[in-house]
Amino acid sequence: MVENFVIDTNVAISANGVNTHASFACQLACIELLMACKNLPIAIDETGLIMDEYKRHLSHAGQPGVGDMFFKYLHDYQYTSDNILLVTITQSDDGGRGFAELPSNSLDASDRKFLATAVVAKAILVNATDSDWAQQHELLESLHIKIKQLCPEHSCK
């Protein structure tokens, strides 16, 4: 069974190496993962919430960093690549959930779209520097979502 991946924005930001507290080793781990993105099944939401967040932090030009290259790849091929899975997530008026696919939770509102996408796509969440994912391990376990911590020195406090 091929596993899908949902990539938190902090991975691309860390790969770019600008405006990040990520160590060099962390940046390198993010670069290595994103350089393989064309061969990985990446899940994003069809409503564009994840792409909108990427857009706030990354460049459509695909440069100067590897995170920008990843964003450009998703942007250019989201409707034509077999490796990019567009899934439907449903925003909820319930402020305690954020999305119909999620139970009530205390996850940061900006992270909920990633989790809802991971739930629908049955994907692994990839994180670099956000400690919220480690703090929410019980929620992730209850939803049967695995997390790939690229930089545990930053994300598992």
Distance CA 24, CA 109 (A): 29
Q: Which of 120, 109, 119, 128 is nearest to 146 (CA)?
A: 119
For residue 106, the Cα-to-chain-centroid distance in whole angstroms is 18
How far is the CA of 76 from the CAs of 43, 54, 60, 69, 81, in angstroms?
Answer: 15, 13, 9, 10, 9
How far is the CA of 110 from the CAs of 14, 33, 41, 115, in angstroms?
Answer: 18, 22, 22, 10
The mean per-residue pLDDT over the stretch 139-145 comes to 96
Distance CA 4, CA 123 (A): 4
Q: Which of 125, 156, 127, 155 is nearest to 140 (CA)?
A: 125
The mean per-residue pLDDT over the stretch 1-29 comes to 91
Distance CA 138, CA 106 (A): 11
Judged against a pLDDT cut of 90, whether residue 15 lies above it is answered with: yes
Judged against a pLDDT cut of 70, whether residue 133 lies above it is answered with: yes
Q: Mention the CATH class of domain 4-152.
A: alpha beta
Q: Quick check: 136 and 145 in contact, CB under 8 A?
A: no
Judged against a pLDDT cut of 90, whether residue 154 lies above it is answered with: no
* pLDDT at res. 7: 98
Question: Does the predicted model carry a pTM greater than 0.85?
Answer: yes
Distance CA 106, CA 97 (A): 8
For residue 1, the Cα-to-chain-centroid distance in whole angstroms is 20
